[in-house]
C-alpha cells in the first residue's frame, strides 16, 4: 500500500486553487447533467471536461489506484448483472433490434443493449474524475467549511473532514501492523492457503481495531474540551473567497447542465438518444 493513498497533497494549480465550495458544486451540477440524460454525446462531453480538469489537477495514479480498481470491478459487475437479468432492455428502450451474436434465445447481444449499457458506464466515467478531484484536491478543513457554506450542518461536514484526515492514517497503521506481523513469520502471500490467509488478516485487523478505538477516544476528548457542538454555527479557519476562476468553473458546469436539459426537451424529446432511427 502506498503512503500517499487518499492523502491530500498540497499543490498549486488552477484546480487546487479553486474554492472547495466551487469544486463541490461543480461535482453536483455536472453529476446532475449526467444523471438526467442517457444521451451518449452529452456524457462524452462531460467526460472530456472532467478528464481535462483531472489532468490539470496533477493528481497521481498512486493516489487513486485502489479507487480505480474498485470502480473497475463495480462497473464490470454492473455490466454482467445488467446483461444477465435484462439482456433485451436496450431493445425495449430504443424500439429496434440489431443482433450482434446469439448465445441462447434469451441472451442475444444487440447493438441497442451495447448502447444502453455503454451509456451507463459512461455516466460513471464522466462523473468519477470530478469526485476524485473534490476528495483529493480539496483540503479536508476547507471541504468542511465549503459544504457548511451551502447549508449542510457543520457537525456532518466536520465528521466528513475527520474521516478524510483519518482514513490515510488507518491505511498506514494497517501497513505498519502488517509488516510487523510478517516479520514475526505471518505469511500473507499466495503461497499460503486461503483459510490461513484469512486468519492472518484477522490477526492484523484486531490490533488495528484497538488502535482505531484509542484514536477515536482521543479525538472525541479533544473535541469535547474545545466545546465542539455547543453552538448552532461556527467560524472556519480554512475558507476561500470565490474568485473569477471559481465563477468560470461554475459557468462551465452550469452550461453542461443546461445543454443536458436542452437535449432532453428540445432535441431527443426524452432522456434517451436513439441513433437507430
Domain ranges of the chain: 1-139+240-277, 151-237
Cα 219 to the chain's mean position, in Å?
A: 26
Lowest average pLDDT, out of 19-28, 75-84, 166-175, goes to 166-175
pLDDT tens digit sequence for 68-97: 888 999 999 999 999 999 999 999 999 999
Q: What is the pLDDT of residues 216-232, one digit of tens each?
A: 788 788 777 767 777 77
How far is C-alpha 64 from the geometric centre of its chain's CA atoms? 10
| Interval 118-132 mean pLDDT | 92
Highest mean predicted confidence (pLDDT) among 79-93, 181-195, 199-213:
79-93
CA distance 22 to 245: 9
The number of CA neighbours under 13 Å toward the Cβ of 82 is 18
- Whether 1 shows a pLDDT value over 60: the answer reads no
The answer, yes or no, to whether residue 191 has pLDDT greater than 90, is no
**Grid cell at residue 198:** 484469512
Q: Using CA atoms, how far apart are residues 29 and 200, in angstroms rounded to an integer?
A: 45
Region of 5 please: left (phi>0), alpha (psi -120 to 50) or beta: beta
Question: Which own/partner contact pairs does 36-39 have at CB distance under 8 Å and 24+ positions apart?
Answer: 36/257, 36/260, 36/261, 36/264, 36/271, 37/260, 37/263, 37/264, 37/271, 37/273, 38/116, 38/119, 38/271, 38/272, 38/273, 39/119, 39/260, 39/263, 39/264, 39/268, 39/271, 39/272, 39/273
For residue 237, pLDDT beyond 80: no
Sole residue written with cell 479533544:
222
- pLDDT category, 181, cuts 50, 70, 90? confident
Q: Cβ distance 129 to 15 under 8 Å?
A: no
- Model pLDDT, residue 41: 95
pLDDT, residue 2, reads: 43
The model's pTM: 0.78
Rounded to whole angstroms, how far apart are CA atoms 58 and 125? Answer: 18
Exposure of 228 in the CB half-sphere (CA atoms within 13 A): 15
Give Rg (Cα) of the chain.
23
Mean of per-residue pLDDT scores for the chain: 85
Q: State residue 189's pLDDT score.
A: 66
**pLDDT average, residue stretch 8-24:** 87
Q: What's the average model confidence in pLDDT over 94-114?
A: 92
Instruction: List the one residue out of 30, 22, 18, 26 whose CA is nearest residue 57.
Output: 18
Residue 222 pLDDT: 75
The distance of Cα 129 from the centroid of its chain, to the nearest Å, equals: 7
As a whole-number percent, the residues of the chain with pLDDT over 90 amount to: 45
Task: Assign 115 a pLDDT band (cuts: 50, 70, 90).
Answer: very high
Pairing of strands 108-110, 99-102: antiparallel
Amino acid at each position: 500500500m502506498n503512503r500517499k493513498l487518499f492523502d491530500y497533497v498540497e499543490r498549486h494549480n488552477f484546480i487546487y486553487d479553486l474554492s472547495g465550495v466551487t469544486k463541490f458544486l461543480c461535482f453536483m451540477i455536472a453529476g446532475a447533467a449526467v444523471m438526467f440524460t442517457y444521451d451518449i454525446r452529452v456524457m462524452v462531453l462531460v467526460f472530456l471536461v472532467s478528464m481535462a480538469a483531472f489532468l490539470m489537477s496533477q493528481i497521481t495514479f498512486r493516489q487513486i489506484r485502489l479507487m480505480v480498481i474498485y470502480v473497475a470491478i463495480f462497473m464490470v459487475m454492473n455490466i454482467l448483472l445488467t446483461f444477465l437479468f435484462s439482456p433485451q432492455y436496450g431493445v425495449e428502450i430504443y424500439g429496434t433490434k440489431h443482433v450482434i451474436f446469439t448465445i441462447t434465445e434469451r441472451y442475444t447481444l444487440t447493438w441497442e443493449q451495447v448502447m444502453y449499457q455503454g451509456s451507463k458506464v459512461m455516466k460513471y466515467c464522466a462523473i468519477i474524475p470530478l469526485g476524485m478531484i473534490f476528495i483529493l484536491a480539496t483540503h479536508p478543513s476547507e471541504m468542511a467549511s465549503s459544504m457548511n457554506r451551502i447549508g449542510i450542518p457543520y457537525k456532518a461536514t466536520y465528521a466528513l473532514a475527520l474521516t478524510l484526515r483519518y482514513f490515510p492514517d488507518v491505511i498506514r497503521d494497517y501497513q505498519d501492523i502488517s509488516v510487523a506481523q510478517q516479520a514475526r513469520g505471518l505469511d500473507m502471500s499466495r503461497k499460503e492457503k486461503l483459510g490461513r490467509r484469512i486468519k492472518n488478516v484477522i490477526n492484523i485487523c484486531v490490533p488495528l481495531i484497538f488502535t482505531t478505538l484509542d484514536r477515536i477516544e482521543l479525538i472525541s476528548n479533544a473535541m469535547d474540551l474545545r466545546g465542539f457542538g455547543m453552538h448552532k454555527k461556527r467560524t472556519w479557519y480554512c475558507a476561500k473567497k470565490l474568485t473569477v476562476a471559481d465563477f468560470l468553473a461554475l459557468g462551465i458546469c452550469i452550461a453542461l447542465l443546461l445543454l443536458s436539459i436542452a437535449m432532453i426537451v428540445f432535441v431527443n424529446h426524452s432522456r434517451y438518444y436513439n441513433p437507430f432511427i
